[in-house]
């Protein structure tokens, strides 16, 4: 059992046939928010991302680019590594499936499965889609294509097979006994009915190309790219060295994030491989939805891939992170449009949160000699606002626990809204003349509420939150969730306030 205080979160590893786009950034930012949240909540976190570099699809893309596969992979993988910095990801590791550590782990898993009688040599005949790197049943084809719309080709070759058919019952039992294993529920139902339909043994090697990890003992075969790719999660936890402290601390993963297109691999094949090898299963797999762009599916032919760099240049990293996690219920599909992101930036970030901070901090700067004013007797209104802020942590934990980022943000913004109404009702600017002590109390209450909001919003907008905490003179070691209980001290000198969330102004 992984230590209870540990949290291991993974993104899918990205194919290096293409440059990163906002769909990739989405998965990664969601995992980053979880990783940051859990670290702030005192957990030992391991956050893994990386690239998936073997298989026919990559070999073809390399050939098309006129490069040998390794040179091609080095080049494209670097783009994904660059994306981690661009999106301000706090990953602890970046794995590439062409690394020796991963080749060793994949071959070790193969040998373990073989030792346990889970692998046999047979003859494969069937449909294969290179784009999806997946086999399809005749009955699954739609107008001669994969259900995803990808081209398929007929493959007949000697292959090794994994005894997947033996694992249907144990999988169904696992889903039943662990209702949280797959989220959201709609995806869970989809997986359960797929497995109930029966499972056939799975082809797990190929002989018609060589860009992959050789099958131990029979290098004519390379290991099926999905068996290779899924093993990355084990590799990074130091498998096959299961005595390693990294393994005992972090295996099994707490949360594996995937897009809805790859749940069959993560919720059926992957747990079957793990059970068959006698290894522990991840605690949860969550499948998020897909983004369209300005109403259209992102596709090469339409030329509407949106590179993360383009949106970060246009709107800023924090704003993009906020938009991705706020705009839709996590798990649903959504549309990335210029109008929608500008609306979120100007309404939620600049008007609601930005103005609240700016108003309060500049009043303290002007009227309280730049110091946090003393707190007088509290009214029911003061208590209510403080209680709303203090009650947020437990509710954030619940929302993050079910990957409900939009709910987590909605809750924070409810308190932002209450704080803005409180400013209007208490009108500290009029108290300045009539009751300066009361004005001090109001500003102190507001500063304390903003401190809570800034600490709690760090996982989503880390840079802006950090600047806001600087302006509240909160020291670096007092920014985790444990520090929420330690209120601001009257008399603390605050630096001159500066805007946190700029408005988006259209370039003319």
Contact window for ligand MSP (CB under 6 A) among 62-70, 224-232, 401-409, 437-445: 224-232
CA 5 to CA 250: how far, in whole Å?
10
Taking the complex as a whole, how short is the minimal distance between the CB of residue 23 and ligand MSP, in angstroms?
2
CB atoms within 10 A of CB 114: 16
Q: Which is nearer to ligand MSP, 32 or 52 (CB)?
A: 52
**Applying CB under 6 A, what is the total number of residues that bind ligand MSP?**
19
261 binds ligand MSP (CB under 6 A): yes
What does the per-residue mask of binding to ligand MSP show for 354-393, with x meaning CB under 6 A? ----------------------------------------
What's the Cα-to-Cα distance from 144 to each of 26, 125, 194, rounded to whole Å?
32, 16, 21
Helix or strand (DSSP H, E) at 127: strand 119-129
15 binds ligand MSP (CB under 6 A): yes
Which of positions 287-346 make contact with ligand MSP (CB under 6 A)?
Answer: 290-291, 298
Q: Which is nearer to ligand MSP, 337 or 346 (CB)?
A: 337
Cis peptide before 375 (omega within 30 of 0): no
Which single residue is written with the structure tokens 């006698």?
A: 278
Contact window for ligand MSP (CB under 6 A) among 177-185, 254-262, 380-388, 449-457: 254-262
C-alpha closest to that of 115 among 281, 276, 272: 276
Contact window for ligand MSP (CB under 6 A) among 193-201, 229-237, 412-420, 427-435: 229-237
What does the per-residue mask of binding to ligand MSP show for 49-68, with x meaning CB under 6 A? ---x----------------
Which single residue is written with the structure tokens 């696992």?
A: 174
What sign does the dihedral 407-408-409-412 (CA atoms) show? positive
Binds ligand MSP (CB under 6 A): choice among 8, 9, 23, 422: 23
Distance separating the N- and C-terminal Cα atoms of the chain: 58
Taking the complex as a whole, how short is the minimal distance between the CB of residue 121 and ligand MSP, in angstroms?
25
In 242-357 the beta strands, taken as DSSP E runs, fall at 255-259, 285-288, 291-293, 296-297, 334-336
286 binds ligand MSP (CB under 6 A): no
Helices 392-401 and 380-390 pack at an angle, to 10 degrees, of 30
Taking the complex as a whole, how short is the minimal distance between the CB of residue 418 and ligand MSP, in angstroms?
33
C-alpha closest to that of 342 among 358, 362, 322, 357: 322
Contact window for ligand MSP (CB under 6 A) among 13-21, 154-162, 171-179, 203-211: 13-21
Token code pair at residue 141: 């084809």
Residues near ligand MSP (CB under 6 A):
12-15, 23-24, 26-27, 52, 229-230, 232, 258-259, 261-262, 290-291, 298
């Amino acid at each position: 059992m992984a230590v209870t205080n540990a949290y291991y979160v993974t993104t899918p590893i990205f194919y290096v046939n293409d440059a990163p786009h906002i769909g990739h950034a989405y998965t990664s930012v969601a995992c980053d928010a979880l990783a940051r949240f859990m670290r702030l909540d005192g957990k030992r976190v391991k956050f893994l991302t990386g690239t998936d570099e073997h298989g026919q699809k990559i070999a073809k893309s390399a050939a098309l680019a006129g490069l040998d596969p390794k040179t091609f992979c080095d080049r494209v993988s670097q783009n994904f590594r660059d994306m981690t910095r661009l999106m301000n990801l706090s990953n602890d590791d970046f794995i590439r499936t062409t690394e020796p550590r991963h080749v060793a782990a994949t071959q070790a898993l193969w040998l373990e499965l073989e030792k346990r009688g889970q692998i046999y040599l047979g003859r494969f005949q069937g449909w294969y889609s290179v784009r999806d790197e997946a086999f399809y049943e005749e009955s699954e084809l739609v107008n001669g294509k994969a259900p995803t719309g990808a081209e398929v080709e007929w493959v007949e070759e000697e292959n090794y097979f994994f005894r997947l058919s033996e694992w249907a019952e144990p999988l169904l039992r696992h889903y039943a006994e662990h209702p949280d294993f797959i989220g959201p529920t709609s995806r869970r139902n989809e997986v359960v009915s797929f497995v109930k339909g029966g499972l056939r043994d799975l082809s797990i090697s190929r002989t018609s190309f060589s860009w992959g990890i050789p099958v131990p003992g029979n290098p004519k075969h390379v290991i099926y790219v999905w068996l290779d790719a899924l093993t990355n999660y084990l590799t990074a936890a130091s498998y096959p060295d299961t005595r390693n402290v990294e393994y005992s601390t972090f295996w099994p993963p707490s949360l594996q994030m995937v897009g809805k297109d790859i749940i069959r691999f993560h919720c059926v094949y992957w747990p079957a491989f793990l059970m068959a090898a006698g290894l522990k299963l991840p605690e949860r797999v969550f499948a998020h939805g897909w983004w369209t762009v300005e109403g259209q599916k992102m596709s090469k032919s339409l030329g509407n891939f949106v590179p993360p760099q383009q949106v970060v240049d246009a709107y800023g990293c924090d704003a993009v992170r906020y938009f991705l996690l706020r705009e839709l219920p996590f798990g649903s599909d959504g549309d990335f449009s210029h109008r929608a992101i500008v609306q979120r930036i100007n309404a939620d970030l600049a008007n609601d949160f930005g103005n609240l901070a700016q108003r309060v901090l500049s009043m303290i700067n002007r009227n309280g000699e730049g110091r946090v004013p003393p707190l007088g007797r509290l009214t029911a209104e003061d208590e209510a606002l403080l209680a709303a802020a203090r009650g947020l942590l437990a509710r954030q934990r619940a929302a993050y626990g079910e990957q409900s980022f939009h709910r987590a943000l909605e809750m924070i913004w409810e308190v932002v809204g209450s704080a803005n109404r409180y400013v209007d009702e208490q009108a500290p600017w009029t108290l300045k003349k009539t009751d300066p002590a009361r004005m001090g109390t109001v500003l102190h209450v507001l500063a304390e509420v903003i401190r809570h909001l800034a600490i709690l919003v760090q996982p989503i907008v880390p840079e802006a939150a950090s600047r806001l905490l600087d302006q509240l003179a909160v020291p670096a070691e007092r920014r985790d969730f444990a520090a929420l209980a330690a209120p601001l001290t009257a008399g603390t000198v605050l630096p001159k306030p500066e805007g946190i969330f700029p408005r988006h102004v259209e370039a003319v």
